[in-house]
Amino acid sequence: MSPDPALAEPLEVVERIRKVAGEKAALHEPEIGGNAWAYVKDCLDTGWVSTVGAYVDRFEKMLCEITGARHAIATVNGTAALHIALVAAGVRPGDEVITPSLTFVATCNALAYCGASPHFIDIEETTLGIDPAKLAARLDEAAILTPEGLVNRETGRPIRAVVPMHCFGHSVDLDPLLAVCAEWGLVLVEDAAESLGSFYKGRHTGTFGLLGTLSFNGNKVVTTGGGGAILTGDPEVAKRVKHLTTTAKQPHAWAFVHDEVGYNYRLPNINAALGCAQLELLSDFVARKRRVNRAYGEAFADLDGVRLMGEQPFCTSNFWLNALVLTAGGRTARDEVLAAANQAGLTTRPAWTPMHELRMFADAPRGDLAVTTWIADRLISLPSSSRLGGPAAA
Ligand SMILES: *Cc1c(COP(=O)(O)O)cnc(C)c1O
């Protein structure tokens, strides 16, 4: 966080983006190719378009193969996946759940659906993900271990779980985070919405917690139009998740019996068909997205006042979105670059408004969020579509 006195010239930054992204570029475009048409047409031809069908099963199987998870349950979107993962993790009304403030609003919305409140912990500048050391320090200061579990001594509420988010595809530092969870009896649920194809020490993100969730929204590495998935290694949890996402219907040849309030969160077959075709292309997408990152690395190498987000030694990132941090000039410089780049047809975006600054979560408990606010003022997301990394492999 040592500020560089040299300020990046906005038009110079735009020029460097153009070198990689060309004259016009979206932030992240889907690339629909491979077997997409054939598989979707097959759904249309056979009439298997809805929540039952062979592509959903195949999609889940492919997710298991790719991530190494024992179980994958496909859902209508990543937010629904998070919602059910939190329910399955035992999050209840009145609970607090540890989460970063620098995340997409879905992470905190899903907590709110469970009647829980976020408890914000700062991020690391190197990963943009939750800082395990700051979490440990915060728990030492604010939490007490009771026979019923961990309690926030200031609010008196249970602290139930930790939901890290692998920001832009960069893995959080999971080993120290797992150690904190073990020490305090916290359940880990990973928001891996942005990190399909990203690995921590050789193991796929989203498979370290009791549960992990993925998103297949149109702007993610792989898309099903809209979609998500829950990963877990626990067969009982997998069963419960499947049950909750399919209206809690008891298996029966013809009767409708539901044993609790369930959800209609199952991914339709037509979306899964597109997803199967997309997953077949995942390794090519990731290879080309990593090439885009290398190209930005070269383009910005000799420019003062900026730092391109790279990957830590423990992470192999999918580089979902490339992020540039303006190390000088703060928010004013950031807004100048955003204005100039968007004006030039190169779509760039700031980070999300930190969750603790949103009205709904403004009263949530928190540790110090110095890095979160520092990064939020200086980060710019760059055009990062796989097509910018060259043509698809034949
Ligand atoms: C995309 C995303 C989600 C889920 O989004 P959906 O649009 O509901 O699929 C959740 N968390 C993060 C961090 C995301 O980027």
Q: Quick one: which H or E segment has residue 373?
A: helix 370-378
Q: Is 224 in the pocket of ligand 1 (CB under 6 A)?
A: no
Per-residue pLDDT tens over the stretch 337-360 = 999 999 999 999 999 999 999 999
CA of 78 to the centre of ligand 1 (A): 5
The reply to whether ligand 1 has any atom less than 6 angstroms from the CB of 131 is no
Contact 340, 17 (CB under 8 A): no
Q: Is the pLDDT of residue 263 over 70?
A: yes
| Ligand 1 pocket test, candidate residues 105, 215, 263, most atoms within 8 A of CB | 215
Distance 132 CA to ligand 1 centre (A): 22
Beta bridge partners of 97: 118, 161
**3 state DSSP class of 92:** coil
**Looking at the predicted structure, is the pLDDT value of residue 53 above 90?**
no
Are the CB atoms for 72 and 93 separated by under 8 Å? no
Which atom in ligand 1 lies closest to the alpha carbon of residue 78?
A: 9
Token output for 166: 């692998």
| Ligand 1 and 163: CB distance under 6 A | no
Q: CB of 215 closer than 6 A to ligand 1? A: yes
CB of 228 shorter than 6 A to ligand 1: yes
Is the Cβ atom of 265 under 6 angstroms away from ligand 1?
no
Instruction: For ligand 1, say whether the CB of 381 is within 6 Å of any of its atoms.
Output: no
- Given a cut of 90, whether residue 2 has pLDDT beyond it is no
Rounded Cα distance between 28 and 42, Å, is 28
CA-nearest residue for atom 4, ligand 1, is 78
Q: What is the mean pLDDT of the chain?
A: 96
pLDDT of 229-255, one tens digit each? 999 999 999 999 999 999 999 999 999
Cα of 24 from ligand 1 centre, angstroms: 25
Which residue's structure tokens are 């919405």?
193
Q: Pick from 127, 172, 191 the residue to mutate for probing ligand 1's pocket: most ligand atoms within 8 Å of its CB.
A: 191
Q: What does the chain come to in residues?
A: 394
Please report the atom of ligand 1 found closest to the CA of residue 219: 1
Distance from the Cα of residue 305 to its chain's centroid: 28
Element (DSSP H or E) covering residue 194? none
pTM, to two decimals: 0.97
Q: Is 104 in the pocket of ligand 1 (CB under 6 A)?
A: yes
Q: pLDDT tens for residues 136-176?
A: 999 999 999 999 899 999 999 999 999 999 999 999 999 99
